[in-house]
Structure 1
Amino acid sequence: MTTPLPRQLVRGSSSGVAIMAVFDLLGRKWNMRIMWELNSSSLSFRGLQERCDGMSPSVLNTRIKQLTAAELVFTTSEGYKLTELGLSLMNTLNPLREWAAEWEDKVAK
């Protein structure tokens, strides 16, 4: 499975527009969860696996490779960590989290 990147064909778009590539990448099972877990601290492979409900090692390995190829995650002596670009993405998503909370309140009524 190839990593969705800007200027390439991605699921839902043949234009290669960057926003569609990031939606494809984050929409793949576990990728957003991995980003979420790494947002607060670096984690070892096993630690990340435990935080992600014990996903299989092969799936975690594939997802880490995708996020690394997309330059969102990198490996350190402490384990896996978000790159500056990955941290920037997570900060960019903060307003979306706020919007989702408002949406949840509206839908729950």
Structure 2
Amino acid sequence: MPARKPTPRPGQPVRGSKSGQPLMALFDLLGRRWAITVLWSLRHSPLNFRELQAAAEGIATSVLNTRLRELREAALVVTGDDGYELTELGASLLAAGQPLVAWADAWAEERP
């Protein structure tokens, strides 16, 4: 079994960068398979494990467990009474991404 990759942390070298820059750590975390999908699936309300797995169609149980662990370690997701939910930090990350959502929508309209 391959060694577990550590959760990216600001100040630490990450995949593709030895600088420790926070943005590079964020890109490493969000670049992991299904990470953005998990965050996006939690944008409206908490979901339990099965609901989250259904929202992220095709995600393996082991991968979902790994992503949830990493996102909890990164303080973007917590386990609450109603399942997994975004923290304030996680919600602010998605809010910061809204200009990208708007750009992508405009891009989609421009494409034939």
Which TM-score band applies after superposition, normalised by the shorter structure? Answer: over 0.9
Residue 31 in 1 paired to residue 31 in 2? no
Q: How much is the aligned-residue C-alpha RMSD, in angstroms? A: 1.1
Deviation sequence 1:38-68 (CA, Å, 0-9, x none): 0111000011011111421111100000000
Partner of 1:71: 75
- 1:92-107 residue pairs with structure 2 within 5 A? 92-106=96-110
Structure 2: gaps (5+ residues): none
- With the length of structure 1 as denominator, give the TM-score of the two structures: 0.93
Alpha-carbon distance between aligned partners in 1 of 2:44 and 2:82, rounded to the nearest angstrom? 14
The structure whose residues are more often helix, as a share, is: 1
Residue 11 in 1 paired to residue 15 in 2? yes
Partner of 1:48: 52
Amino acid at match of 1:45: F
Deviation sequence 1:63-90 (CA, Å, 0-9, x none): 0000000000000111000000000000
Aligned length: 108
Alpha-carbon distance between aligned partners in 2 of 1:28 and 1:38, rounded to the nearest angstrom? 17
